[in-house]
Structure 1
Amino acid sequence: MTDVRHIVFDIGRVLVVWDPEIPYRTLIPDADRRRWFLDNVTTSAWNVEQDRGRPWAEAEAALIEQYPDEAPLIRAFRERWSEMVPGLLPETPAMMEALIDAGHDVTMLTNFAADTFEIALQRFPVLTRPRGVTVSAEVGLIKPDRAIFDLHAERFGLDPAATIFFDDSAPNVEAANGAGWQAHLFTSPEQMRADLKAAGLAV
């Protein structure tokens, strides 16, 4: 295994909390109806197209045409997006900052809509500390597409074999490994710390 010279972090559910259900617990108090709405209307597949760069207005219009009675709840997804990201996860942002402070090369690679990413940067200044970030909506590619890993490595001059990567999605981890990275599934700060230690990086 090549010595690690580059560290790459995903953002959602690795550095910041991301839970689309939070505002809908108030908007749709009935748990069964709420689950139906999130599983069938504002689905992950629908949201990922905004991560790919589709404008919110276009995304909302497509769903409202299909589910006209749900229009207010559909629009609430973007209107109340900030509630879905209530704060930073414990420990991991501090671990990232410790790596930066120790002089390590740290970047981020994230599936994120462009406008909501700007909100996240304003709310969480720690996200401005890495050397740079590749945002899916800004480049028109999304994980787990192999191309976004190759693009990130090219943009930031990373040696894939010397790059350790943390993501909360197993398909993304598999794709990163396929691109030659040393990728790890994020499950807890403790496991991340152990993975970093195994790579010779103490935090």
Structure 2
Amino acid sequence: MTIKAVVFDFGGVLIDWDREYLYKQLIPDETERRWFLDNVCRMDWVVQQDGGQTIEEGTAELIALYPEHEALIRAFYARWPEMVSGVLEEGVALVDRLKAVGMPLFGLTNWSAETFPYAWERFDVLRQFREVIVSGRVGMVKPDPKIFALMLDEIRKHLPDIQPSELVFIDDNVKNAETATLLGWHGVNYIGAMETETKLRTLNVPI
């Protein structure tokens, strides 16, 4: 078996993004903060923007449901950069090592088209990939098999004969990794660089 390309997720693998970084400042009480993030600015709401809904639309939709929390809702995207603490060094080192051995690298991320430029401009690691698919730009999100098919099409522009079984996909979301595996890729649930390196070695990736 030969792995011919590796596809990386970004958030949680290469970029340290967490709602808590902002909302610990805005809602100091942990119980109140947890309720707000579990019931108002939920991750499934965030995914709507990652899937192409505009920030303006998403914000208005949520304020209509929870008008008493308008200020906290507006802060989500108005102060979005405060949720990004920087790169995850172990993940970046993994990209560097794979690139050093000549492994073709690609990116597949669930990310709002409106906030992605902030990260793109600031974190060099995101520009180390031959192609990057941003969910908010294409109007679909992982784990939808259609976005994996789109990624495969992009990869084949560089590696025309590649098959799913020759691809590794690394994602911190287990459902996304499992979907890749169901589609014939080698899905790796990223819980740390060491575990991921071990998995790559079992797939005969020279790292």
TM-score range, shorter chain: over 0.9
Task: Tell me the residue number matched to 1:67.
Answer: 66
> The residue matched to 2:6 in structure 1 has which SS?
strand
| Partner residue in 1 for 2:172 | 168
Aligned counterpart in structure 1 of residue 198 of structure 2, from 188, 194, 197: 194
Quote the residue 1:81 is aligned against: 80
Contact 1:100 1:130 in 2 (8 A): no
Separation of aligned partners in 1, 2:40 and 2:122? 28
**Residue of structure 1 equivalent to 2:159:** none
Which of 183, 186, 194 pairs up with 1:182? Answer: 186
**Contact 1:150 1:179 (C-alpha < 8 Å) held by counterparts:** no
Q: Which amino acid aligns with 1:199?
A: L
Q: What are structure 2's unaligned runs of at least 5 residues?
A: 157-161
Q: Could you list the per-position Cα deviations for residues 150-197 of structure 1 after superposition, in whole angstroms to 9, with x for gaps in the alignment? A: 110012214211001111111111111111101111111110111121
Match in the other structure for 1:5? 4
1:54-203 → structure 2 map (5 Å cutoff): 54-157=53-156, 158-203=162-207
Unaligned runs of 5+ residues in structure 1 are none
SS in 1 for 2:115: helix
Secondary structure of 1:87 counterpart: strand
Inter-partner Cα distance in structure 1 for 2:30 and 2:50: 27
Q: Does 1:29 align with 2:34?
A: no
How far is the alpha carbon of 1:101 from its aligned partner?
2.6
Task: Assess if the C-alpha contact under 8 Å between 2:55 and 2:114 holds in 1.
Answer: no
Secondary structure in 1 aligned to 2:170?
Answer: strand
Contact residue 186 and residue 192 of structure 1 kept, 8 A: yes
**Residue-by-residue CA offset, 1:109-162 (whole Å, 9 max, x unaligned):** 110001211111111011101111111111111101111111100122142110
SS class of match (1:39): helix
Pairwise CA RMSD: 1.0
AA aligned opposite 1:124: F
Which aligned segments of 4 or more residues in structure 1 are displaced greater than 6 angstroms? none
Does the residue aligned with 1:86 lie in a helix, a strand or coil? strand
Task: Using the aligned pairs only, state the percent identity.
Answer: 41
Aligned mates of 2:23, 2:57 — CA distance in 1: 21
**1:182 is aligned with what amino acid?**
H
